[in-house]
Amino acid sequence: MDKIKKLIAKILKKVFSREFITYGVFGVLTTLVNILIFKLLFENLAIAYGIANIIAVLAAKVFAYITNKLFVFRSHCANVKELLLEIVKYVFARGFTGLIDIFGMFFAVELLHADEMITKYIIQVIVIILNYILGKKVVFKKHDRSKKAEEAV
């Protein structure tokens, strides 16, 4: 029973952490950017869903990088090399989830004949979860300067 209490306490601590809450807020905003741009292009401007989706995904990725770097993970790069490495990691991580978004839409709409908007919503849930994991574990890892200092000595 004590293990269960500790596990629940650990989960609650994580869920109510500043990082998790700000990720949720900016994740919702990123999703809104993605969906609203898609909706505007697809429904209002009659742009093909595939092109509309690519434009929406790219706009959302740029918005997400800026908000994740500044507000969620509070990433600070010591130099230009670290910044460029972070951007490259971000491009690959978000490129991967962008491909899931794009090909998931294609697969569901073209092969399964699913509704475009419902598919977009479902895929966004999957992408949000993957983006958090990749952002935290791969892109915006905390730079351990003390460890690097020790290795230099």
HSE of 96, CA atoms in CB hemisphere, 13 A? 16
Start-to-end Cα distance in the chain = 46
For 63-112, write each residue's pLDDT tens digit. 999 999 999 999 999 999 999 999 999 999 989 998 998 899 999 999 99
Using the Cα atoms of residue 42, residue 103, residue 100 and residue 67 in order, give the sign of their dihedral.
Answer: negative
How many percent of the chain have pLDDT more than 70?
93
What mean pLDDT is predicted for residues 126-143?
86
Q: Which residues contact 106 (CB under 8 A, 6 or more apart)?
A: 50
pTM to 2 decimal places: 0.71
Distance CA 97, CA 111 (A): 20
Residue 123 structure tokens: 């895929």
Name the 3-class secondary structure at 83.
helix
